[in-house]
């Protein structure tokens, strides 16, 4: 046992740890430049359990190295101070990893929020019919903490497709029987009143529509290779009406009764909007993967794609009893942030971005006090209690559109208690190690400038 | 010490020169707010005035010879910023293409156009509207309304106070924030 403790506190163990950590750091650098993805590199290195074990190894090594000097003497003071500083810094890292906050506020101009999307997290948000409060169920290790929900399948990356007028090989118009598409788009597949109906798939819908709409009254639904359906109509007065993709979506009962796409010219037609997912090979750049899950809710299954900003449609389930959405976990912070303006600052006389800025009002939710701040790429705002706000990006960058800003929020609860004081104590210890010598009676004195002992480093005390 | 006095002095000066003030909509509610400089003369419509007539401003400000008017248009029929700016362009006499500019702008949830023109007189104008995604989150038709802010004066006066007028206009916003999507 003594030998094990001696090894764990030895310089050999320290060198082994340093060498292994250096290998991790080198691997992290190469992986990040190879994949252009911090998340990909981090999953193999800094977020890997082995890396956490290394940090634990450092903590044990430093602690035992210091305790091995027991019983302590005055001359051990700089050595102990140095090791105390290192232990405080390591403790700060551990505290930050467990109790720290790292997430993103996504805010539109004119709007505000205090709910931070937590990085690398997933949850299902549920809005029960007739209630205004959404329920949040975090997902951990592919398990969801809701009594009536179960994840029965998940894929790391999937592509979402929306279907409306053309579903499979059928033209579906609400209130009318389904019509089967034939192989020749030039042949009408049915009639609504005096209107002949054409439906089919084409690479260039507009070109095909020009051939079909030579005489009216005609309706044409043409699906392009991306799956989107384009609508064209020529009425009895030879007026031509078009609708591109999903230019009009109707929401019934706030979505609880589902979503419809609608055309209003020359008369009202609707088709229910449905979505399905095609699993894809996961991307190396993990930040761009869009996971999808299949949920069993009571006796019904629903497939949900990941909505990274939690702003997309919530989908009805259980015949409109609930609306559900798959999104990152949210954490409320004690500060409410209102976005006044986000803008791209360009180089003079060009559209090349020089910087991005945003004007925000940060209100303390506890005492109501507010401050106005401008964040930019290198200008961070930090509150007295350690919440830091960074501008991460704005979208769209064009000046005439209402913009959405992504503001990274970070809180390190150990920064002022452990990390920064640890760094100061470490510096003091290093100073003491190199510049203060202790005599046998424990009296300190300065070593003076320059090394003695023929230029050799001072011996470990 | 001098630095501290300068900082405190500039803070006091800022507080004294401009303050955030409520601007009332056509229903008499404080729907909007903006930073208005202390020296500007403000005239709000009286309660007796019929504000259903959208040609009447909801707030008028005077700065030397410059008149700044704020209108909102809460009706069902939406007036595009392009149409407003085209109207202002036609109103300015002796305006040639070198003397005006139109730029897209967006802040506070509004998007629209900024017009700056110098003819016989000068105009700085903003025609703003909320995009449909914001409108659907607001119940109050007054809050959903398009807004114009227009400053008219002589060319010299407008150029002299241009920065202050722009600062006022770009501080204009809805008092209550648009609900989170």
What ipTM does the predicted assembly reach?
0.86
| Backbone region of residue B139 per phi and psi (left: phi > 0; alpha: psi in -120 to 50; beta: other values) | alpha
pLDDT of residue A423: 97
pLDDT of residue B49: 74
C-beta atoms of A399 and B174 within 8 A: no
B105-119 tens-digit pLDDT? 999 999 999 999 998
Average pLDDT, chain B: 86
A442 part of contact set with chain B, CB < 8 Å = no
pLDDT of residue A461: 44
C-beta atoms of A110 and B130 within 8 A: yes
Task: List the single residue in B104, B174, B181 with the smallest CB-CB distance to A400.
Answer: B104
Q: For residue B120, give how far its alpha carbon lies from the nearest alpha carbon of chain A (Å).
A: 29
pLDDT of residue B3: 52
C-beta atoms of B173 and A340 within 8 A: yes
C-beta atoms of B106 and A402 within 8 A: yes
Residue A380 · residue A398 · CB < 8 Å: no
Q: For residue A379, give how far its alpha carbon lies from the nearest alpha carbon of chain B (Å).
A: 20
pLDDT of residue B98: 80
pLDDT in tens, chain A (461 residues): 788 999 999 999 999 999 999 999 999 999 999 888 888 998 888 888 999 999 999 999 999 999 998 898 888 889 999 999 999 999 999 999 889 999 999 999 999 999 999 988 999 999 999 888 899 999 998 899 888 899 999 999 999 888 889 998 999 999 999 999 988 888 899 998 899 999 999 999 999 999 988 887 999 999 998 888 999 999 888 889 998 877 788 888 888 989 999 998 888 999 999 888 999 999 999 889 999 999 999 888 999 999 998 888 899 999 899 999 999 999 999 999 999 999 988 888 887 888 899 999 999 999 999 999 999 988 999 998 889 999 999 988 888 899 999 999 999 999 999 999 999 999 999 999 888 887 777 788 887 655 555 545 555 44
Res. B1: pLDDT tops 60: no
pLDDT of residue A311: 86
pLDDT of residue A276: 87
B155-170 average pLDDT score: 95
Q: Which SS3 state, helix, strand or coil, does residue B64 take?
A: coil
| Longest Cα–Cα distance in chain B | 59
Q: Which two tokens stand for residue A138?
A: 């975090």
A-B Cβ pairs (cutoff 8 Å, strict): 66
Q: For residue B30, give how far its alpha carbon lies from the nearest alpha carbon of chain A (Å).
A: 16
A374 part of contact set with chain B, CB < 8 Å = no
């Amino acid at each position: 046992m003594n030998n094990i403790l001696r090894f764990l506190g030895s310089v050999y163990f320290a060198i082994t740890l340093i060498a292994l950590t250096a290998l991790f750091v080198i691997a992290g650098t190469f992986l990040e430049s190879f994949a252009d993805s911090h998340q990909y590199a981090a999953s193999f290195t800094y977020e890997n359990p082995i890396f956490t074990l290394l940090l634990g190894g450092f903590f044990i090594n430093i602690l035992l190295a210091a305790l091995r000097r027991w019983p302590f003497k005055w001359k051990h003071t700089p050595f102990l101070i140095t090791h105390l500083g290192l232990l405080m810094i390591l403790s700060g890292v551990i505290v930050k990893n467990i109790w720290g906050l790292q997430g993103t506020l996504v805010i539109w101009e004119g709007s505000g929020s205090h709910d931070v999307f937590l990085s690398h997290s997933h949850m299902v948000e549920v809005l029960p019919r007739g209630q205004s409060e959404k329920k949040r169920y975090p997902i951990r290790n592919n398990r969801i903490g809701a009594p009536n929900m179960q994840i029965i399948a998940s894929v790391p990356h999937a592509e979402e497709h929306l279907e409306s007028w053309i579903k499979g090989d059928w033209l579906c118009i609400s209130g009318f029987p389904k019509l089967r598409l034939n192989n020749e788009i030039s042949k009408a597949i049915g009639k609504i009143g005096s209107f002949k109906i054409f439906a089919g798939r084409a690479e260039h819908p507009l070109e095909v529509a020009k051939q079909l709409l030579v005489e009216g009254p005609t309706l044409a639904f043409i699906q392009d290779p991306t799956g989107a359906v384009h609508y064209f109509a020529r009425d009895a007065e030879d007026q031509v009406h078009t609708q591109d993709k999903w230019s009009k979506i109707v929401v019934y009962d706030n979505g609880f009764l589902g979503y419809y796409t609608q055309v209003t010219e020359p008369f009202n037609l609707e088709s229910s909007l449905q979505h399905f997912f095609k699993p894809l090979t996961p991307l190396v750049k993990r930040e761009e993967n869009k996971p999808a899950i299949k949920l069993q809710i009571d006796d019904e299954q629903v497939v949900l794609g990941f909505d990274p900003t939690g702003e997309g449609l919530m989908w009805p389930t259980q015949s409109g009893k609930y609306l559900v959405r798959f999104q990152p976990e949210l954490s409320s912070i004690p500060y409410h942030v209102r976005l006044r303006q986000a803008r791209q600052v360009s180089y003079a006389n060009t559209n090349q971005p020089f910087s991005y800025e945003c004007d925000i009002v940060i209100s303390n939710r506890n005492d109501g006090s507010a401050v106005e701040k401008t964040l930019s790429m290198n200008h961070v705002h930090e509150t007295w209690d350690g919440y830091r706000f960074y501008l991460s990006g704005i979208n769209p960058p064009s000046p005439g559109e209402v913009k959405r800003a992504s503001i990274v929020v970070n809180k390190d609860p150990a920064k002022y208690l452990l990390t920064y004081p640890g760094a100061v104590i470490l510096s003091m210890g290093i100073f003491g190690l190199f510049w203060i010598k202790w005599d046998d009676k424990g009296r300190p004195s300065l070593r003076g400038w320059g090394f003695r002992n023929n230029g050799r480093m001072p011996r470990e005390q | 010490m001098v630095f501290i006095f300068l900082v405190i002095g500039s803070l006091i000066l800022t507080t004294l020169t401009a303050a955030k003030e409520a601007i009332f909509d056509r229903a008499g509610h404080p729907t909007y707010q903006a930073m208005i400089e202390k020296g500007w003369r403000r005239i709000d419509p009286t309660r007796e005035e019929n504000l259903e007539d959208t040609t009447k401003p909801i707030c008028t400000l005077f700065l030397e010879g410059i008149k700044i008017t704020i209108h909102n248009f809460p009706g069902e029929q939406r007036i595009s910023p392009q149409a407003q700016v085209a109207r202002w362009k036609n109103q300015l006499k002796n305006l040639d293409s070198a003397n005006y500019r139109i730029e897209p702008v967006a802040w506070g949830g509004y998007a629209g156009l900024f017009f700056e023109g110098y003819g016989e007189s000068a105009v700085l104008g903003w025609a703003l509207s909320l995009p449909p995604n914001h409108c659907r989150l607001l119940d109050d038709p007054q809050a959903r309304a398009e807004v114009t802010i227009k400053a008219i004066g002589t060319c010299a006066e407008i150029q002299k106070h241009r920065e202050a007028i722009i600062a006022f206009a770009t501080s204009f916003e809805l008092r209550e924030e648009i609900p989170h999507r």
